[in-house]
């Protein structure tokens, strides 16, 4: 039978393709694993720990209207709530707008963590 050289060439190509596919797959999985590890490593590190220096409330009544699955929702907001927070490392003072719930939860002198976006 004279088909033997052709069969050897096809087998060699299949092995080569298999090895290439496996190596590309391993490299891709390693790349994805590194990306996940890197993203989890830096996910919590971009925030600022600080001390709440001052709570500020500015009377500025507003009506907030939102449209949702239940129709129109109306919410009365008595004013603007904000914190002045001093960074414990740099000493920089930040002014942050917060919701009423967050405003009521903290008092002056408490530690406060927030994400800083530059």
What are the pLDDT digits (tens) for 22-56?
999 999 999 999 988 887 765 556 678 889 999 99
- Check residue 118 and give its pLDDT: 45
Residues 6+ apart with CB under 8 A from 45: none
Average pLDDT over residues 80-101: 90
pTM summary value? 0.51
User: CA–CA separation, 13 vs 11, rounded Å?
Assistant: 5
Average pLDDT over residues 67-90: 88
User: CA–CA separation, 20 vs 111, rounded Å?
Assistant: 54
Q: Give 47-115's CATH code, choosing from 2.40.50, 1.10.4100, 1.10.150, 3.30.56.
A: 2.40.50
| Whether pLDDT at 20 is above 80 | yes
User: CA–CA separation, 68 vs 74, rounded Å?
Assistant: 11
DSSP state of 45: T
Hey, is 49 helix, strand or coil? strand
pLDDT above 90 covers what percent of the chain?
Answer: 29
């Amino acid at each position: 039978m004279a088909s033997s050289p052709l069969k050897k060439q096809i087998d060699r190509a299949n092995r080569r393709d298999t090895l290439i596919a496996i190596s590309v797959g391993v490299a891709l999985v390693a790349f994805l694993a590194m990306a996940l590890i890197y993203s989890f490593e830096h996910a919590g590190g971009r925030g600022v720990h600080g001390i709440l220096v001052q709570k500020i409330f500015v009377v500025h009544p507003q009506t907030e209207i939102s449209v949702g699955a239940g129709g129109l929702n109306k919410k009365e907001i008595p004013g603007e709530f904000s914190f002045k927070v001093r960074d414990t490392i740099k000493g920089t003072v930040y002014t942050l707008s917060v919701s009423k719930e967050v405003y009521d939860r903290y008092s002056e002198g408490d530690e406060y963590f927030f994400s800083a976006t530059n």
